[in-house]
Structure 1
Amino acid sequence: MLRKLGKRERTIARRADHEAQQERISKAVWSILAGKGIEHLTIRAVAAEAGCTTGLVMHRFPGRSALLAHARDLLHARTRERVERLEAEAETPKAALRAILAQGMALTEDSTQEALVWMGFLAASVGDEDLIELHRKNNRAWRERVARLVAASAPGWDEPRVTTAVFTLVGATEGAAQLASFDPQAYGAEAQEAMLDSLLEALGLA
């Protein structure tokens, strides 16, 4: 005979079910973005990919804008986890700086997909101030991380010089990722890394 679950056990079971549903929907969102493109990200498509009802998806995300915001959060979470690990493993600030900048370029299949998702999000954000602000927030966090490592790598630099280096590095690496995601033959991984190393050397951060 099955034992009836107590109140606490039912609460834990509901929480676990909620987390499993959330994970399934998140995976579906990323799968659509990476495989089909942001224009295919709809409530109906996510429900079909996740194997659930549109009502369940809409309960979590009431509209496409909410789905897009979730997608941007997923991208930010993926990169944050990766860069924190790379920074922790690096032996010097310069090594950490080089490692986190490289992971943001289109050097692998996964990072190429992330570059495409990032561009799709930017395109979808046009005219949506909430999405634009979310992008600004995450990009600001990224610049602050790069700035901290630049300052640690060159402790004698003043703030304007650090800021200029940050904009140069962020602009160059993100630009390379976008170009490579559409023309991998011209902008292959080796070419991207050579560009990064040359830029770091020119700035005195190699």
Structure 2
Amino acid sequence: MPRRRDLADQRRRLSAATWSVLAERGLPGLTLRAVAERAGCTTGMVLHTFADKQALLVHARELLHRRTGQRADAASADADSPRAALRAVLWQAASPTEEKREEARVWVGFLAAALADPVLADLHRAYNRRFLDRVGGLVAEVRPDWPPADCADTAISLVAVVEGLNALAAVDPQTYSEESQRVAVDAALTRLGRGSDGES
């Protein structure tokens, strides 16, 4: 038992170090050595947890998905209507603050890497589809009168808006400011019209 607990603590420490390196140096700076230095351990210890650089990248991508998923869960749980839950989930995926833009830069780095890495590409598709399913489910709650195909199409449009804002705000936060992102998200939501909750 102690050994299992030690391994779990080690993985948590390396996960924290991985995210810290990613946030500071981006994907190109994520190396086994950099993670080891940040965690205050040897590269051998990192390799004991992650077999190679690919395993480290996969873990880092999973970390990003977990962070955004937890925020989406919290955002929808605090909402008082289906439309408010949908708006909150979309807004937590946008990049209005420096902390969120930092996360967006990491996401863009993974997207770029996925173009040449089939493993990361598979992960990106899987996680994006989970987000689409989440948004599509919320759209269906707002518009239970719509057929599933319309809900799915609307989810794609809404996700495209927030992911586009993420990518653009990562390099041009002046143009894609918090206010402009808010306006864009609210404008995208007008496509739903007046839903079952009476809101529009």
SS of equivalent residue, structure 1 residue 90: coil
The one-letter amino acid of 1:199's match is A
Alignment-derived partner of residue 4 in structure 1: none
Q: Shift of the alpha carbon at 1:42? A: 0.7
SS of equivalent residue, structure 2 residue 144: coil
Alignment-derived partner of residue 35 in structure 1: 24
The one-letter amino acid of 1:91's match is D
Q: Shift of the alpha carbon at 1:125? A: 1.9
**In 1, are the aligned partners of 2:143 and 2:192 still within 8 Å (CA)?**
no
Deviations 1:77-101 (A, max 9, x none): 1111111111111111100000000
Choose from 114, 124, 145 the match for 1:125.
Answer: 114
Distance, in Å, in 2 between the alignment partners of 1:188 and 1:29 is 28
Distance, in Å, in 2 between the alignment partners of 1:115 and 1:56 is 29
Q: Shift of the alpha carbon at 1:183? A: 0.6
Q: How does 1:130-145 map to 2 (within 5 A)?
A: 130-145=119-134
Alignment-derived partner of residue 179 in structure 1: 168
Q: How does 1:1-206 map to 2 (within 5 A)?
A: 11=1, 13-204=2-193, 206=200
Of all paired residues, the percent bearing the same amino acid is 46
TM-score (normalizing by structure 1)? 0.91
The runs of 5 or more residues in structure 1 that have no matched partner are 1-10
Instruction: List 4+ stretches of structure 1 deviating above 2 A.
Output: none
Segment of structure 1 superposing worse, 104-113 or 150-159: 104-113
Q: How many residues align?
A: 195
The one-letter amino acid of 1:146's match is V
State the structure with more CA Rg. 1
The runs of 5 or more residues in structure 2 that have no matched partner are none
Distance, in Å, in 2 between the alignment partners of 1:73 and 1:176 is 22
Segment of structure 1 superposing worse, 64-73 or 120-129: 120-129
The one-letter amino acid of 1:121's match is F
Deviations 1:90-119 (A, max 9, x none): 111100000000000111222111111111
Q: Shift of the alpha carbon at 1:17? A: 1.6
Distance, in Å, in 2 between the alignment partners of 1:51 and 1:189 is 37
Q: Shift of the alpha carbon at 1:134? A: 1.1
Segment of structure 1 superposing worse, 126-135 or 98-107: 126-135
Distance, in Å, in 2 between the alignment partners of 1:198 and 1:130 is 35
